[in-house]
């Protein structure tokens, strides 16, 4: 039996999806000394729940490429941008580049499936200053600089190749009000 797209998914689902950097929902995954919340960014999570969007937690490339300690058990003793710059260099190894490509490809498969079936990908939310998931800023050469993290850059490039057009925004965890304002711009929120 061949069903058309118009006959599928006509239940209560919103058909609206948002992709989030892993650490927005799981602060336990980030490098030592950088957690801003005990577990999750509760205010951002409350906003996402009100939006009725399906939440896709993207994989943490740093955790999956470098481990929880990021290869430096004393990482928290360095300034954040110094440690992030070290992490960014490690993410350029051949093994990390391959792993990041694989992670990006898994996300692209999901995005393609949602788009093919008439779902709206409302956006992607990254974390500015991150060496992997920064959108507007990243860490490089021991500074926070304009530019993308290595994972977001690879994801954006692959999305462009596949003609997947969706907004990619960057937030900072401790700038909660600004983060909520930016996320609200890409979501329709029920009051």
pLDDT digits (tens, 9 = 90+) for 122-177: 999 999 999 999 999 999 999 999 999 999 999 999 999 999 999 999 999 889 89
Is residue 46 included in any domain, yes or no? yes
Evaluate if residue 73 carries a pLDDT over 90: no
The whole-number pLDDT of residue 5 equals: 54
Is residue 4 included in any domain, yes or no? no
Evaluate if residue 6 carries a pLDDT over 70: no
Is residue 67 included in any domain, yes or no? yes
Count how many domains the chain has. 1
Is residue 44 included in any domain, yes or no? yes
The whole-number pLDDT of residue 75 equals: 84
Domain that holds residue 35: 16-186
Rounded to whole angstroms, the Cα distance separating 50 from 21 reads 19
The whole-number pLDDT of residue 1 equals: 46
Which pTM was predicted?
0.90
Q: How far, rounded to the nearest angstrom, does the alpha carbon of residue 49 sit from its chain's CA centroid?
A: 17
Provide the pLDDT confidence category of residue 103 given band limits of 50, 70 and 90: very high
Is residue 5 included in any domain, yes or no? no
Closest CA to 124 of 163, 94, 165: 165
Q: Which two tokens stand for residue 101?
A: 């490509």
Is residue 9 included in any domain, yes or no? no
Is residue 98 included in any domain, yes or no? yes
Is residue 79 included in any domain, yes or no? yes
């Amino acid at each position: 039996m061949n069903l058309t797209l118009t006959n599928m998914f006509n239940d209560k689902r919103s058909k609206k999806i948002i992709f989030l950097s892993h650490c927005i929902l799981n602060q336990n995954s980030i490098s030592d000394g950088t957690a801003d919340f005990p577990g999750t960014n509760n205010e951002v999570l409350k906003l996402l729940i009100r939006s009725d969007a399906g939440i896709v937690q993207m994989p943490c490339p740093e955790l999956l490429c470098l481990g929880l300690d990021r290869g430096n058990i004393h990482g928290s003793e360095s300034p954040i941008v110094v440690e992030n710059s070290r992490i960014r260099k490690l993410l350029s190894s051949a093994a990390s580049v391959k792993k990041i490509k694989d992670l990006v490809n898994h996300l692209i498969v999901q995005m393609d499936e949602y788009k093919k079936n008439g779902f709206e990908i409302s956006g992607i939310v990254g974390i500015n200053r991150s060496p992997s998931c920064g959108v507007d800023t990243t860490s490089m050469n021991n500074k926070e600089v304009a530019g993308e993290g290595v994972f977001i850059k690879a994801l954006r490039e692959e999305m462009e190749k596949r003609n997947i057009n969706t907004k990619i925004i960057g937030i900072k965890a401790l700038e909660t009000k600004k983060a909520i304002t930016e996320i609200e711009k890409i979501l329709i929120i029920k009051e």
